[in-house]
Amino acid sequence: MAIPAVSQELFPYSRWNSQIPQLRPQYRSAKPYPHIVLKNLLEDEVAQKAMNEFPKPTDTNWIQYKHFNERKLGKSKREEFPPLLGRLVDEFNSKEFLRFLTDLTGIENLLADPMLDGGGMHQSGPGGFLNIHADFTTHHYQPWRRRINLILYLNEGWLAEWNGNLEIWDKEMKNCVEKVVPVLNTAIIFNTDEHSHHGLPDKIKCPEGMTRKSLALYYYTQLEDSSYKPISTNYQARPGDGWRAPFIWLDKKFVHGYSVLKTRLGLSDDFASKILGFFGGRK
């Protein structure tokens, strides 16, 4: 069934821009790294229709991220997005939104990523998870340094006891500093570097037929140091992970090998879906 057109602007710039003087110091002073959680990021009508439009696991072809360190579905091909979700991606990649991010974070000359490298639509059903990690530090196909993540959650009535909460960990991986419940129209924006540890490591326990849905966009600046060596997604064991810790490390090395091949050979995440799904099925 077609979703009716949304009457408002997709992002309420006047509302959020007026709050920048209060939000800016909150963002930049947040621990353990700069971040902020914004509730009601979009107007209610927009968020509700974006959630209703989100494809089910059987509605389209998804990238299968299935290995020891994660189990989720992803889709990054903008041309295959439903209409409203595609427009939201375009808005979040617009010059006006980049200016909002700069005003909030203080990071100048931000670059949007129309390729949605690693981003786009994500969802996980019961049993899904994503171990604590710091993200890959450079774009796989452009000479860009990764600087900011934006994640918008699209889950009405999500309960904290279902897990799926985004955990923010300190640099030393000793303490979980904050947990964000992925409820509808809540967004988190945060700086990314080698130590911006985050994830949802406990297996999701939502009811069958439900999924944890999100829209993820990543922002970059030009990579000025040509000698910089990119770092792949760096998964981390938590205190108490016990026997899982060496497998987290081994799987991280495998993902790093694929990431190097992806960059050098121009491989797509659809290819990764087949490879990681194969190995994930053997674990």
Mean pLDDT of the chain: 91
Among 67-71, 143-147, 256-260, where is mean pLDDT lowest? 256-260
Rounded to whole angstroms, what are the CA distances from 250 to 15, 167, 237, 246, 279?
Answer: 46, 22, 11, 6, 13
pLDDT digits (tens, 9 = 90+) for 221-237: 999 888 888 999 999 99
Position 257 scores a pLDDT of 81
In the chain, the N- to C-terminal Cα span, in Å, equals: 39
> Please, is 165 exposed, middle or buried when counting C-beta atoms within 10 Å of its C-beta (0-12, 13-18, 19+)?
buried
Position 122 scores a pLDDT of 98
Which domains occur in the chain, in start order?
13-281 (2.60.120.620)
Cross-strand bridge partners of residue 200: 130
Using pLDDT thresholds of 50, 70 and 90, give the confidence band for residue 171.
very high
Position 225 scores a pLDDT of 87
- Alpha-carbon distance of 267 to 179, in angstroms, equals 34
Q: 136-139: which pairs have CB atoms within 8 A and are 24 or more residues apart?
A: 136/230, 136/231, 136/232, 136/233, 136/259, 137/192, 137/193, 137/194, 137/230, 137/231, 138/223, 138/228, 138/230, 139/113, 139/220
Residue of higher predicted confidence among 261 and 90: 90
pLDDT digits (tens, 9 = 90+) for 148-168: 999 999 999 999 999 999 999
Position 260 scores a pLDDT of 73
Using pLDDT thresholds of 50, 70 and 90, give the confidence band for residue 270.
low
pLDDT of residue 271 exceeding 70, the answer is: no
pLDDT of residue 20 exceeding 50, the answer is: yes
Position 9 scores a pLDDT of 81
Position 279 scores a pLDDT of 46
Residue of higher predicted confidence among 273 and 153: 153
pLDDT digits (tens, 9 = 90+) for 72-129: 999 999 999 999 999 999 999 999 999 999 999 999 999 999 999 999 999 999 999 9
Using pLDDT thresholds of 50, 70 and 90, give the confidence band for residue 3.
very low
Where residue 89 falls (left for φ over 0; alpha for ψ -120 to 50; beta otherwise) is alpha
Position 19 scores a pLDDT of 98
